[in-house]
Amino acid sequence: MVAAMTAGVMNRTMAGLILLVAVMALLSLATGDGGFAPADIWAALGGDPLAATILGTIRAPRVVTALLVGACLGVAGTITQAVMRNPLAEPGLIGINGGAGLAVAVLIIGYGGAGGHLLPLAGFAGAALAAGTIYALSWRGGTSSIRLLLVGIGIAALTGAGTAFLTAMGDVRDVQRTLAWMAGSIYNADWTRLHWLLVWSAPTFALIWFLARDLDLIRLDETCSRSLGMSLHLTNGIMILLCTLLAGAAVATAGPIGFIGLLAPHLARGASTRHAGLLPAAALWGALLLMGADLAGRMVGLPAGLLTPLIGVPFLGFLLWRRKND
């Protein structure tokens, strides 16, 4: 009975979240350069070729990209918090943003702005390389959450220093492009990139959801997880790999977008205490947050990546304040 009751609460929370995501998607679709114009949607549906083009090639891919990148970040954040056993962890801690930033800076500044189409690839490669380095360096016959955390902080400082060096030395225009990329934005979304993101992330989502039970156990005590029969180091490695795939794909698509990986898992905690429910809820919250940030950003002419800290920082403060008062 208790289980049925919690399932009921969870289903209602999920349904509410899905509804919110749908409303936010419609709002975003209906908002363009001319402000809020729901008539555009009717016109496109009615066969107006101009409206259909604007919606189909500009707004729709942007909205769906925001949705998908947000979901990737939400899920990646949930994994990071479980693996690190730390509610303040986020994918940036395993080097995703730092690595991607450095790789993109190297590509733009080091190679004179050539190969703009390679940016997503460079972003992903940098993210994966940094995550791999952190994992390898924290390995001492096994990994522990605290070692991952400490090495992660070190690598973040190192990649940050590398990026700072490049931006200090580079050509002004290249540096500006690099910095624009680092602000994190989805303004240049198109169907081709979206297609890649979907192909990349969908199977990863499925795999993670199947491993939800392992995430439930991994966030318990290290000794307990092992004595309950988990091959902790193997599972840790798989989780970090899956997290890198998602967060790396997100950063490759939209540049580094902070705080969603931290916020979405926390907002999702109301929905469930199990990862089978937590993961979809975090994905939905992530989608909602990024679509919201992108929508707000379009209204004031700022990239979404600059707006997420505006929501994120006060929330982080609230989180710390609440923990202190527990």
Partner 1 sequence: MTEPAPHSPLEACDITVSYSGRHVVRELSFRVPAGCFTAMLGPNGCGKSTLLRALAGLHPPETGRVLLDGHPLGRLSRRQLARRLSMLPQAPRAPEDITVRDLVEQGRYPHRALFDRWSKADEDACGEALALTGLSDLATRPLAALSGGQRQRAWIAMTLAQSADILLLDEPTTYLDLAHQLELLELVRLLVRERGKTVLAVLHDVNQAAQFADMLVMLKEGRILHMGRAHDVMSAATMREVFSVEGLVTTHPLDGSPLFLPAAMRPARAG
- Residues making contact with partner 1 (CB under 8 A): 2, 6, 85, 87, 210, 213, 216-217, 219-221, 223-224, 226-231, 269, 273-274, 326
Residue 302's region, left for phi above 0, alpha for psi from -120 to 50, else beta, is: beta
At residue 70's C-alpha, the angle toward residues 179 and 56, to 5°, is 90
Q: Provide, rounded to whole angstroms, the least separation between the CB of residue 3 and partner 1.
A: 8
Cβ–Cβ < 8 Å for 69, 257: yes
Supply the minimum distance, in Å, between the C-beta of residue 142 and partner 1: 11
First to last CA, the chain: 30
Instruction: Answer yes or no: are the C-beta atoms of 260 and 77 closer than 8 Å.
Output: yes
Q: Which is nearer to partner 1, 134 or 218 (CB)?
A: 218
Residue 31, beta-bridge partner list: 36
**Amino acid at residue number 113:** G
The Cα–Cα gap between 38 and 56 comes to 15
Give the C-alpha separation, 126 to 136, whole Å: 15
Using the minimum distance from each CB to partner 1, give the nearer residue, 180 or 241: 241
Nearer to partner 1 (CB atom), residue 162 or residue 237: 237
Instruction: Pick the closer one to partner 1 by CB: 19 or 220.
Output: 220
| Residue 185 CB, nearest approach to partner 1 (Å) | 33
Minimum distance, C-beta of residue 211 to partner 1, in the bound complex (Å): 8
CB nearer to partner 1: give 96 or 268: 268
- For partner 1, give the closer residue by CB, 114 or 224: 224
CB 93 within 8 A of CB 153: yes
How many Å apart are CA 107 and CA 101, to the nearest integer?
Answer: 10
Query: 198, 63 in Cβ contact below 8 A?
Result: no
> To the nearest whole angstrom, how small is the minimum distance from the Cβ of residue 53 to partner 1?
45
Q: Among residues 108 and 230, whose Cβ is nearest to partner 1?
A: 230
CB of 219 vs partner 1, minimal distance in Å: 5
Give the chain's length.
326
The DSSP secondary structure of 164-191, one letter per residue, reads HHHHHHS-HHHHHHHHHHHH---TT--H
* Secondary structure letter of residue 32 according to DSSP: E
* Residue placing its CB nearer to partner 1 in the complex, 86 or 191: 86
277 half-sphere exposure, CB direction, 13 A CA radius: 19
